[in-house]
Amino acid sequence: MPEKPLKEQAQDNAIFQYTQQVIFIRHGESDAHVGKAATHIEEVGLTSPGEKKAQEIAATFPHTPDLIIVSPYLRAWQTALPTIERFPDTPYTIWPEVREFTYLGSLAGKCTTRLERSEKVTRFWENAKPEDVDHEDLDRNGESFVQFVERARYALDRLRRMEGLSSNICAGEQLHLHLQLCFHLNPCLSGDEDFMDRPSFL
C-alpha cells in the first residue's frame, strides 16, 4: 500500500471533510465484554443488550445513507444489520481493512476470556514496539502496530476515492475507529512509539 507524503495526506483530509460525511459506528456490547471465552475473536457476537443497541442506532439516522461499510467481524455485522434492514435500497459491503487491530497472534485458535488475555494485552502496549508481531508463524492472525496504521490509512484513502457518495456509514471495532478519529484530528500521525503509547492512543 504506497503512502502519499504526509503534507499531501493532510490536504486530502481537509478536502475530504467538506465533500463527504462518514458516520463511524462501534459495535454494541459483545460476548467478550461480559467475560465469555472465545477461540477466534472475529467470531465473537453481540449480547442481547448489544443487539438492542444496534436496533436503537438504526433508528437514529435522519437520512438514507449512500453506502454501508462493515468490518468482517461478526459483532460489527450484527451491529450494522438493523441499519441495513432499515435501508434496503442502500448497498452494503464488507471491507477487511476496517476490521479491529488483531495484535495477539500467539493466542489465535486458543479459547480464552478477556481477563485471561489481559496480561498479554498490557505487556504489548507497555512495550510499545510498533514493528513487533506477537507470533513467529506468519500464517497466524496477527499484525504489528505499523501494519495496523498502514491498513487504516488505506481504508481512509479508499473512502476518499469513492466519488458521488456524500453520506456513508462504517460499522467496525474500537481501535480502528479510534485510529480514524486520530487521523481526523492530526493527519500527519505516524505509527511510532509515541503514538502507540497506550494512555494517549486508547
170: left (phi over 0), alpha (psi -120 to 50) or beta: beta
Domains and CATH numbers, the chain: 6-101+144-188 (3.40.50.1240)
**Rounded CA gap, 195 and 59, in Å?**
36
pLDDT for the residue numbered 57: 94
Residue 176 pLDDT: 83
C-alpha cell at 142: 496477527
Pairing of strands 92-94, 167-172: unpaired
Tens-digit pLDDT profile for the chain (202 aa)? 444 444 444 444 444 444 568 888 989 899 988 989 888 888 899 999 999 999 999 999 988 999 999 999 999 999 999 999 999 999 999 999 999 888 888 887 889 998 898 898 888 888 888 888 887 554 556 788 888 888 888 988 888 888 777 788 888 888 888 788 777 767 666 666 566 765 455 5
